Structure 1
């Protein structure tokens, strides 16, 4: 009975007794969730267009952020370094299409997946060779991103907002909205959706798979760059960021591999859920549950809805 009370009653009593702290936890979970959604979008973009689960998306986040910091470290002005990083992600997209995807057209999905694992370790080695393995400090102020914090008095207490968290939430939300509009309203976006629906049908109406794949990997690279800047501003830029990027996996399980809205909703569920779990239920398990709770939430969804909240149910008749 005591255990049931500790699990089912005490956490909610704590939420009600300290509502300002509860709002603080919700805010931090919301920011994390939006950034998880941004990472997941990179996976969704590539999977929708090519059917490839891009295991390298996490290291692309790290490589983009390291490139930005590294260019600035050798004297390149911040905004010029940002522009050069965009060109780096374009070059990476073209190289992946030419050297990885094009030779493996019509190969089984597992072959393409293994190719992205190989790409992951190639970028890890290249990044360590060029930038070294020690953590770097993101050029937050040089990019014009806000720093500091402010307090909001509410519910009998104070909620602290970090300026960089607000900027991250706004930028991430703007990118998510922009990508959604891009998919729905532009000619290239419609071509991407056509390729996602049926490669052969898209080819028959003159859509170039190679061009679409290069575009979508470039878009995923831009998402990776934005994600690397935001996560790097909140912590350090290091290869540990790719572990954070793997939080996109439970987000994808919740939202569905092909759904942009699913990535958003899944990211918010995971971000808020793991923060609430860590603060209010974590002490019952000794703390540290934030590292694995997201995967448990995803497992629960898999048991009841394997295709995710917004994924398509596939029915095969035999």
Structure 2
């Protein structure tokens, strides 16, 4: 058994798992605030990555300027999307809102293909060295950046929900929208903030992945891959999304190792998280940290 390769894959899995956890937190954030599952989450990654790539290539901006400019654009994009498209859906059946997010997913994917094409395009070189040697293992510089950003985002989420006024308003809205309104909380503002934060954090992940693998329409599939993470951790649990991301990140890389060494199935890396999704739904439908809903008939 190639132990060195296995350790390299486990480390890569932990790093990618932090990105999974960050994107999963966006799912959880929107679900906790609005009770809506956003099926356009992967397209948020795609839009953020293409926007940053366009700023760097078209205007030749340095990364340190194009990166925050992209995040500022995503704040405006997230708020505009919620106000123009989703706010009129408040009060409608949840399934109707979910269908709207599916429609947005298809629309944005087609729009990005029209504007930028379907070929994979590489980011300009951001770091002087593409990889760094850590304990004898080569780790890409973009992955190190992703690890740092992911940890900072997780810490920011913790303090945001625990201490900030907006975070506390989101928690109150997630608990009961009518009670939150009676306390003077603007539910519309909470919804807009949730979508804006989700768009920004997703763009962070999209840019990092684009720096490693290039930018193409395939990037939106990352949002689908995060579904097993969300279900495993619990659809309404921030902590669960982090732990679920690490588990799925390591699982798919270990599955790739087992596939290359013994099984030779060929696509176990892609399908292993969805096997985990099926198993967790059978054994623990609410996930490891999800809240059980008890309904009386």
TM-score bracket, shorter-length normalisation = over 0.9
Matched, 1:303 2:282: yes
Matched, 1:56 2:48: no
* Runs of 5+ unmatched residues, structure 2: none
Asked if structure 2 preserves the Cα contact closer than 8 Å seen for 1:21 and 1:159, the reply is no
CA distance in 2, matches of 1:94, 1:148: 35
Which of residues 109, 123, 130 in structure 1 aligns to 2:115? 130
CA distance in 1, matches of 2:257, 2:71: 38
CA distance in 1, matches of 2:128, 2:91: 47
CA distance in 2, matches of 1:93, 1:305: 33
Q: Deviations over 1:187-228 (max 9, x none)?
A: 100001111111111111111111111111110111111101
Q: Deviations over 1:66-89 (max 9, x none)?
A: 011112222152344333322321
Show the 5 A alignment for 1:27-38: 27-38=11-22
Which of residues 155, 159, 165 in structure 2 aligns to 1:177? 155
Once superposed, which parts of structure 1, at least 4 consecutive aligned residues long, lie more than 6 Å away? none
CA distance in 1, matches of 2:270, 2:145: 25
Deviation at 1:287, TM superposition (A): 2.4
Q: TM-score, normalised by structure 2?
A: 0.93
Asked if structure 1 preserves the Cα contact closer than 8 Å seen for 2:234 and 2:240, the reply is yes
Asked if structure 2 preserves the Cα contact closer than 8 Å seen for 1:146 and 1:163, the reply is no
SS of equivalent residue, structure 1 residue 240: helix
CA distance in 2, matches of 1:206, 1:122: 36
Deviation at 1:285, TM superposition (A): 4.3
Which of residues 157, 171, 186 in structure 2 aligns to 1:193? 171
Distance 1:216 1:146, change over 3 A: farther
Which of residues 229, 235, 249 in structure 2 aligns to 1:271? 249
Show the 5 A alignment for 1:1-318: 14=1, 18-78=2-62, 79-141=64-126, 145=127, 147-152=129-134, 158-281=136-259, 283-318=262-297
Distance 1:221 1:139, change over 3 A: farther
CA distance in 2, matches of 1:147, 1:181: 33
SS of equivalent residue, structure 1 residue 315: coil
CA distance in 2, matches of 1:140, 1:305: 44
Size of the alignment, in residue pairs? 295
* Runs of 5+ unmatched residues, structure 1: 1-13
